[in-house]
């Protein structure tokens, strides 16, 4: 087997994993079929795992989507109990976003699904 075939097989394997991850995100994360909602959840969970605070403004900027699109999906996630906002500890003017136990449970299911891939 030459190096080109090895590289091609490696890329195919990565593409299959990426597709499986995307399907798992759509299955386990609360997205309503929206990539924006998925990205909002992933960014909040990432900040939570890294023990970082993420403000609403920073969250919207991190997704790379329009503010209006983020705002609509963010409102749905808050209304349905997946995210909450709270005042930042060091600056009372800033609102930070925190994942709820409901979202953390969904994330746990996603991680279990990813272990099987």
59-106: pLDDT as tens digits = 999 988 999 989 999 999 999 999 999 998 888 889 999 999 999 998
Q: What is the pLDDT of residues 17-63, one digit of tens each?
A: 888 888 888 888 887 878 899 899 999 999 999 999 999 999 999 98
Count the domains in the chain: 1
Q: Tell me the CATH number at 98.
A: 1.10.10.10
Find the domain containing 52 and state its range.
Answer: 3-115
* SS3 track for 39-84: HHHHHHHHHHHCCCCCEHHHHHHHHCCCHHHHHHHHHHHHHCCCEE
Say if residues 55 and 43 touch (Cβ distance below 8 Å).
Answer: no
CA 73 centroid distance within chain = 12
Q: Rounded mean pLDDT of 1-27?
A: 79
């Amino acid at each position: 087997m030459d190096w080109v075939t090895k590289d091609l097989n490696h890329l195919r394997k990565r593409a299959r994993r990426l597709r499986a991850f995307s399907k798992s995100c759509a299955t386990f994360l609360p997205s309503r079929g929206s990539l924006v909602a998925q990205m909002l959840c992933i960014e909040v969970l990432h900040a939570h795992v890294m023990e970082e605070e993420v403000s609403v403004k920073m969250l919207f900027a991190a997704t790379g989507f329009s503010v209006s699109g983020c705002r609509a999906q963010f409102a749905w996630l808050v209304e349905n109990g997946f995210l909450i906002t709270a005042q930042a500890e060091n600056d009372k003017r800033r609102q930070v976003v925190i994942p709820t136990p409901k979202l953390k449970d969904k994330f746990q299911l996603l991680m279990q699904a990813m272990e099987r891939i």
